[in-house]
Chain A
Amino acid sequence: MKSAARIAREVQSGETTATAELEASFAAISRRNGELNVFLHVDQEGARDQAAHIDARVARGEPVGALAGVPIAIKDNLCQIGVPTTCSSKILEGWRPPYNATVIDRLALAGAVCVGKTNLDEFAMGSSTENSAFGPTRNPLDPSRVPGGSSGGSAAAVAADMTPIALGSDTGGSIRQPAALCGIVGVKPTYGLVSRYGLIAFASSLDQVGPLAKTVLDSALLLEAIAGHDPRDSTSLPEPSPSLVAHVEDGVAGLRVALVHELVEGADPEVLEAVERATAALADAGATVVQLSIPEIRLALSAYYLIAPAEASSNLARFDGVRYGLRVDAKNVTAMMEATRTAGFGAEVKRRIMLGTYALSAGYYDAYYGQALKVRTHMIDAFARAYREADLLIGATTPSVAFAFGEKTTNPMAMYLSDVFTIPTNLAGEAAVSVPFGTGEGGLPIGVQLLGPGRSEARLLAAARVLEIADGRP
């Protein structure tokens, strides 16, 4: 499939039309969606209208945006007017938002065409899409394996050439982990860089919307289009969208890159080996390489599994059957709420609501949630110290290549551990990229993770581009 950059260029020049590219996308979806379960909803009518609108503008010689005519897949936890939005949960089945997420508005402004909504772990809680109420998504590279999660559908859409780019959300690795498992690029932006307005919250202090794409350049294009201050999100950074595309080819000469021990600790040997080769490739491109240890990273998983469920327990309280979504009738309002939530939420969501409720309870708050907040502060300090010695950190995105269905579903801890390398960035509110680098068992892709301080996206994408070239994708 053509890259987003190429489609936009060709639509702008008249070589192709948004409609033709959209139909190609629809064709790819109909070829493989039955097998892979990538899209929960394809918005044929809306997308065709949008594509026709772009084509009409081009025909009239009016300006079109940087993503003109580019088909894009949207994770189904982002609100789009009139388009079913489920979070892969029965509790929201059939709900159609009356408003757009800010990122959806910005995509429209950039000329992108939203093709449909992709599968995810219910409310973005999971690492395999096996927690979707509407069945798991299969990894396009090996349908016996998971695509990762929670943005598994969005990653699979790109990996299966259904769309060149997709939007995901990353709370503890939900963009980077599936990107790694599907062999594509995924960016977790700095907290506040991209508006969360219209992203159905899992853990508000950790959630970020970000791009999934085949190439680093496409990731930069997409991130540039959606980033920048939004007055509707109080936690949005005050600056306008950063210049990213212009810096993709900046290289890494003169940058200090640190290979972090705790970001490869426990990874499969083939993953460790890929990270080491990637580090060497950055050195070859002119970076200075050092080794670092950040022991606080070992505490990240525990802190995350208190903070994220605590926020989730509150964020998901509103799904009570009173105003929208599922309602299971019962003898009074309390019983109705209980019955609705019992029937509407899946096991993992319930587990996290209970964990979070417990962590915030009187008498337990200090020992659990309060302690986790302290760990988070330590994490932020530890990264700040690391960034005095290095401009970028490097490690693995996930401990292994894509795993098989059912492999980790019986043991939640094993599943949680697949995010052990990605979670620290979310706790620190900083930026990270996963970029494919080499393959492992069964020829499946390995993701290498680059981490940077807040607002370092341009630097991270330039380094990712160096790895992309070194891995044979010039």
Chain B
Amino acid sequence: MSLPHGWEMVVGLEVHTELQTATKMFCGCANAFGAVPNTSVCPVCLGLPGALPVLNERAIDLAMAIGMALHSTISPSTFHRKNYFYPDMPKDFQISQYDLPINAGGYLDLPDSTRVTIERAHLEEDTGKSTHLGGSGRIHGADRSLVDYNRSGVPLVEIVSGPDIRSSTQARLYASELRAILVATGASDGRMEEGSMRIDANVSVRHADEPFGTRCEIKNLNSLRSLQRAIDYEALRQVELLEGGGRVRQETRHWDENLGATSTMRTKEEAEDYRYFREPDLVDLAPDIAWQDRVRAGLPPMPAERRATLSARLVGANDAQLDALEVVIDLGLDPFVHHAIDAGVDPGLALARGANELAAGLEDIARLNRDAFSATLLMEQRGELSSTQAKTVLGELLAHGGEPGTVAAAKGFEQLSADTLGTTVAELLAQFPSEWERYRDGDEKLAQFFIGQVMRITNGQANGKAVVAELRARR
């Protein structure tokens, strides 16, 4: 979408990401998505009277890793309390960072080579999760509300960008690149649908080169699609308001996915006074150089670098392959692809199997080692497995692990001997004389027909290329 002529949108994003620590930020409770409500809780994350927070060092590792990937300065920092009353926040304050965040400054280069500045990336704790039942379904006006505190105290990093984004497409690109970075650092699983990454968007509009306009903040965008749609809607709303002689009020807005519209949540005047002050139950956080170096040494290559490395091996890639490359980079599957190419697999085949079969089996990826992936693809390339069989073998390896050869044998995917194939083909030619006639006259499409027949008879155990070779030999 583009705005009416002469208008430009200015967007800054605040991305909250849950950190993939084994335990919560200030206690030993498991950081587990989807557990039975209120089972992963203790006096600390329930905010019981007298309980005290103790900082999880792993959360600091991951926060620093994010900062390093975003070229931030790791700084001595402090924790503050952000005070407001809300039933899913057990202490009625949130432990966050305020004037001294752990990561200050930085930038992120988008694949379109735009540089977006990063203002800060700070640590804070997540709240519990409310479910409002009956009535309006919102907190005021529901018949009753249930609160699950399993999420309470889960570590978060909030990454605040500068107002450097100029379109909703670019906002989406930023969010997607940031997600890939978060996945690469191991800080996040990047699953927006599970709420492990949530985005607030600050949107304003202006005539190009004029000072920034008044901004509105759209809260809790839970998918890249919502992000893009909400920004477009909001920017257009502001332009229409201004062109009609109105003024944009600074406010927080809610995005309704079904209506496809934003609406006022609270105005600036209604904004809470959070009464930030230093959290007296925690000490200052100042990771020393040795600690920082340890984290830096463990950082894997970031998506931009990995994208460049992989695309260098895919010379002349078509659009579909470029999309596949993005999928592979975003999901961190490129090491598999590289391994297969190194083993002699055709780069296009390696990329396709990575972006499709591996991406689909991402949850089980830990069961598949790179050697098994490469070996399967080599079998396919050598014609020992049909592509259908190769996909089945990969699926089996992801689901249960094992060795490709063994899996293929167990599935009965052993290649037909040349004799058996020859006999089968000969029988078919006798059975379908007119089709054979047309093929001999040069109608290559009929090769597919014969392949299909062979597959039917052999329960898919034949190799398509071998069938074609048989046909050609008899033509």
Say which residue of B48, B273, B280, B282 sits within 8 Å of A98 (CB atoms): B48
Q: Kindly state whether residue B439 has any CB partner on chain A within 8 Å.
A: no
Give CA–CA (A86, B43) in the complex, Å.
17
Chain B residues whose CB sits within 8 angstroms of the CB of A319 once the complex forms:
49
A333 in contact with B49 (CB, 8 Å): no
Please, which residue of chain B has its CB at the minimum distance from the CB of A207? B280
Chain A residues whose CB sits within 8 angstroms of the CB of B53 once the complex forms:
234
Please, which residue of chain A has its CB at the minimum distance from the CB of B42? A99
What 0/1 readout, one digit per residue, does chain A (328-367) give for beta carbons within 8 Å of chain B? 0000111001000000000000000000010011100100
Give CA–CA (A415, B51) in the complex, Å.
30
Q: Kindly state whether residue B347 has any CB partner on chain A within 8 Å.
A: no
Chain B residues whose CB sits within 8 angstroms of the CB of A318 once the complex forms:
47, 49, 90-92
Q: Kindly state whether residue B140 has any CB partner on chain A within 8 Å.
A: yes
Please, which residue of chain B has its CB at the minimum distance from the CB of A197? B52
Give CA–CA (A197, B26) in the complex, Å.
13
Give CA–CA (A101, B43) in the complex, Å.
11
Say which residue of A87, A324, A337 sits within 8 Å of B85 (CB atoms): A337
Please, which residue of chain A has its CB at the minimum distance from the CB of B130? A333
Please, which residue of chain B has its CB at the minimum distance from the CB of A332? B140
Q: Kindly state whether residue B145 has any CB partner on chain A within 8 Å.
A: yes
Which of A28-36, A60-68, A158-166, A309-317 lies at the interface with chain B?
A309-317
B280 in contact with A204 (CB, 8 Å): yes
Chain A residues whose CB sits within 8 angstroms of the CB of B93 once the complex forms:
314, 317
B281 in contact with A99 (CB, 8 Å): no
Q: Kindly state whether residue A57 has any CB partner on chain B within 8 Å.
A: no
- Assuming the contacts A205-B280, A332-B141, asked whether A320 and B85 have C-beta atoms less than 8 A apart, the reply is yes
A317 in contact with B273 (CB, 8 Å): no
A320 in contact with B81 (CB, 8 Å): no
Q: Kindly state whether residue A201 has any CB partner on chain B within 8 Å.
A: yes
Say which residue of A317, A323, A324 sits within 8 Å of B83 (CB atoms): A317
* Chain A: minimal CB distance from B152 (Å): 11
Q: Kindly state whether residue B317 has any CB partner on chain A within 8 Å.
A: no
What 0/1 readout, one digit per residue, does chain B (67-85) give for beta carbons within 8 Å of chain A? 0000000000000010101
Q: Kindly state whether residue A233 has any CB partner on chain B within 8 Å.
A: yes
Chain B residues whose CB sits within 8 angstroms of the CB of A431 once the complex forms:
none
A199 in contact with B277 (CB, 8 Å): no
Chain A residues whose CB sits within 8 angstroms of the CB of B139 once the complex forms:
332-333
B275 in contact with A357 (CB, 8 Å): yes
B43 in contact with A98 (CB, 8 Å): yes
What 0/1 readout, one digit per residue, does chain A (180-213) give for beta carbons within 8 Å of chain B? 0000000000000000111111011100000000
* Chain A: minimal CB distance from B123 (Å): 14
Give CA–CA (A79, B52) in the complex, Å.
13
A79 in contact with B275 (CB, 8 Å): no
B49 in contact with A97 (CB, 8 Å): yes
Q: Kindly state whether residue A380 has any CB partner on chain B within 8 Å.
A: no
Give CA–CA (A333, B85) in the complex, Å.
10
Q: Kindly state whether residue B211 has any CB partner on chain A within 8 Å.
A: no
A92 in contact with B49 (CB, 8 Å): yes
Q: Kindly state whether residue B34 has any CB partner on chain A within 8 Å.
A: no
Chain B residues whose CB sits within 8 angstroms of the CB of A334 once the complex forms:
85, 140
Q: Kindly state whether residue A369 has any CB partner on chain B within 8 Å.
A: yes
Chain B residues whose CB sits within 8 angstroms of the CB of A320 once the complex forms:
85, 87, 92
Chain B residues whose CB sits within 8 angstroms of the CB of A79 once the complex forms:
48-50
A198 in contact with B50 (CB, 8 Å): yes
* Chain A: minimal CB distance from B186 (Å): 25
Q: Kindly state whether residue B64 has any CB partner on chain A within 8 Å.
A: no
Chain B residues whose CB sits within 8 angstroms of the CB of A361 once the complex forms:
273, 275
Chain B residues whose CB sits within 8 angstroms of the CB of A94 once the complex forms:
none
Chain A residues whose CB sits within 8 angstroms of the CB of B283 once the complex forms:
234-235
What are the 4 closest A-B residue pairs judged by CB atoms, nearest first?
A317-B92, A360-B275, A204-B280, A205-B280
New A-B pairs, 6, CB < 8 Å, besides A197-B50, A322-B147? A198-B51, A200-B50, A231-B54, A234-B53, A234-B283, A317-B83
Show the binding face of A for B, using Cβ within 8 Å: 77-79, 85, 87, 92, 95, 97-99, 101, 196-201, 203-205, 231-235, 310-311, 313-314, 317-320, 322-324, 332-334, 337, 357, 360-362, 365, 369
Can you list 14 residue pairs at the A/B interface with Cβ under 8 Å? Answer: A79-B48, A79-B49, A87-B49, A200-B49, A234-B281, A317-B83, A317-B92, A320-B85, A324-B48, A332-B141, A333-B87, A333-B140, A334-B85, A360-B83
